[in-house]
Amino acid sequence: MIIGIGTDIIEIKRIEEAIKKNSRFIKKCFTEKERILFKEKKNKIQTIAATFAAKEAVAKALGTGFRNFEFYDIEILRDKKGKPLVFLYRNAKEILKKFKRPQVLVSISHCKDYAIAYAVIEGEEIHESM
């Protein structure tokens, strides 16, 4: 069953400006593994913006937005073929504990000016026996 869906679109220029304006932006919003990914991708602003959009989409799919957890509690990495992978930590992970076998899927795309992400969370309800 679908637990939640979320989407986000962002102007890449906004992320670029945030990075220039606040030297701690990258460290505040992204995990160490994400920052390594960005270095491997030569710190392309499109990759950073798309990852940011993916985090927003996942937060929306969780049904909470960024309440009671931080940006770095959602981690967006890539497999060897470039497919985005989602890892949840701390309170973001706790939200899904009421479901069996939850799976968070995300799709990311970008062009010159915009990055977009779409997230779906699937799982099964846990039925308590009496």
Q: Which residues are identified as catalytic? A: 60, 110
DSSP letters for the chain: -EEEEEEEEEEHHHHHHHHHH-TTHHHHHS-HHHHHHHHHTTT-HHHHHHHHHHHHHHHHHTTSSSSSS-GGGEEEEE-TT--EEEEE-HHHHHGGGGEEEEEEEEEEEE-SSEEEEEEEEEEEEPPPP-
